[in-house]
Chains A and B, each alone.
Chain A
Amino acid sequence: MNGLLLADGGGPVIPDFGHGTRCLTHNHWFCKSWVAQHWGDVLQPALVQHVYLVLITVGIGFAISFALALLAFRFRFLGPPLGALGDFVYCLPSIALFTILLPITGVGVTTIVIPLIGYTLFILFPNILAGLRGVPAEVLESARGMGLTRTQTFWRVELPLAVPAIMAGLRVATVATIAIATVASFLIRYGLGAPIFDAIEQPDIFRTELLAGGGLAILLALTADALLALLQRALTPWTRIR
């Protein structure tokens, strides 16, 4: 197992229980001094990696979901099979997926990101599709009656009206990706999962590092959700009425 591990920024953290502060030697729940000392070489790089993972995953996942939703929107019969495929991928256990991919795609970001993208499809695809399909019939009829072409109706009416549903999907997908991405460090030390798993795999769980890694993941999720919520408000002023 250890041979597979990517020693990435997580190195010099095994607490020396003989030396160091009293907090560390007693393995208290949270030692500020350790966090301050290792912010630069452990926590900050992990946070940056995690943000990078989430951006890649949600970005690619959104692009694929959007394309698939467009197909299913245009060709109605594609909706159920594509939806079922998303459900299926979501049912696969993440650790199993990472393990299966490892020999194929290697020890790297690709292996982490592929399953994560799969999970976002399950969330984003149905949301985008429901948003596009949720435009009221009378709105579409008036658009048609006024002489909007099919393309104009899509860009000017259907897509903007789908934005609330799309943004809701993006928020869930982003938060879920932030959480699931930590699990990948079980195999590949990358992102905020690295300090978490490093801490867990000590003979005696290193509580400060576990808490710092987990806490950062939670903070990141809350921040991302809040930012997306603000973006949604800015994009959809009409939903704020009543």
Chain B
Amino acid sequence: MPTEAAELVFDEATKVYPGREGAAVDHLSLTVPAGEICVLVGPSGGGKTTALKLVNRLIPLTSGYIRIDGRQIGDYDLTDLRRSIGYVIQQVGLFPHMTIEGNIGTVPRLLGWKRQRIRDRVGELLELVGLDPEKDRRRFPAELSGGQRQRVGLARALAANPALMLMDEPFGAIDPIVRARLQDEFLRLQQELRKTVVFVTHDIDEAIKVGDRIAILREGGTLAQYDTPQQILDHPVDEFVADFVGRDRALKALTLKTVGELELSPATEDGLPRLPADTSLRDALAIIVAERSDALLVVAPDGSPLGVVTREDLLR
């Protein structure tokens, strides 16, 4: 398997558990372009985790195909397939008896990397996920906080530079503040790494935040809609999707854009509330409501004014 980001194709992928009525995943067809994050979201019973585990064959397909870079997953050697796919789960599943270095180095060791190469890679990854490459590598998982453990889980999944990452509610067990930070860091990482990622969540806000594309699955494992966050918020295909994204979908759509992306009018008034250009439209609206102001002054990171955004601009 290539180490460059791979294209992932679900082609009529179906999973029926023996002895259970109805399919868990029902003729799922979608393409995740190389280097994009595809979020699988939906109510429980929607088969999102099943769909994810079909990819690394933790769950065998009943019918249909899944292809990574054009090659069917069944054609790969099972252990090779799994070692070349990064896998992150909600409970992290770090090996409690291994140090952080031992955990992150697991797949490289299986692949027979030289000791020094593994050491270097571990240091590089710890730095990448915001941990101390010297101190933290010798610690055991029990010594870390939940957020730190999930960072290690991410580093471990990235260790052998996989072409594809499968992430099953990776931030689901983490408190909201740390979760938001991890999401931000994950997106910053993705800017750099450009992996193909399949990301499962039940949280539509998380889906909107991290997804390049969102696949909404409904009960019975059928695909309701597969689109960009913007499209899904602006044009839900049916009642189910509209319901799932919520009545505040117009407000959610405002989180997708920052004030810096709007056309700003020149600054004329003095004394307007100031806000940085990377503020989302939704937060800007919240400030307008809170400050009882009709307009805000958008400023660059260095504090120089960029222009004025009005209430009408935000709601357009």
Interface positions of A (Cβ within 8 A of B): 136, 138-149, 152, 156-157, 160-161, 163, 236-238, 241-242
Contact = CB atoms under 8 A, between A and B. Distances in A.
A146 B82 contact: yes
Contacts of A144: 58, 82
A138 B141 CA distance: 14
Contacts of B95: 139, 142-143, 156-157, 161
Nearest to A161: B97
A152 B80 CA distance: 14
Interface in B85-118: 87, 89, 91-98, 106-107, 110
Interface in B35-82: 56, 58, 78-82
A149 B140 CA distance: 24
A71 to B, nearest CB: 24
B143 interface: yes
A109 to B, nearest CB: 38
B97 A236 contact: yes
A138 B91 contact: yes
Interface residues of B, number: 28
Contacts of A142: 87, 89, 92-95, 153
Nearest to A237: B140
Contacts of B98: 238
A145 B56 contact: yes
Contact of A146 (B78, B96, B107): B107
A176 to B, nearest CB: 27
Q: Interface on chain A toward B: helix, strand, loop, or mixed SS?
A: helix
Given A141-B58, A146-B82, A136 B93 contact: yes
A189 B8 CA distance: 75
Given A236-B97, A241-B140, 8 more contacts: A138-B91, A141-B58, A141-B89, A142-B94, A142-B95, A147-B83, A149-B79, A157-B95
A160 B89 contact: no
A139 B110 contact: no
A116 B281 CA distance: 77
Contact of B97 (A138, A140, A238): A238
B142 interface: yes
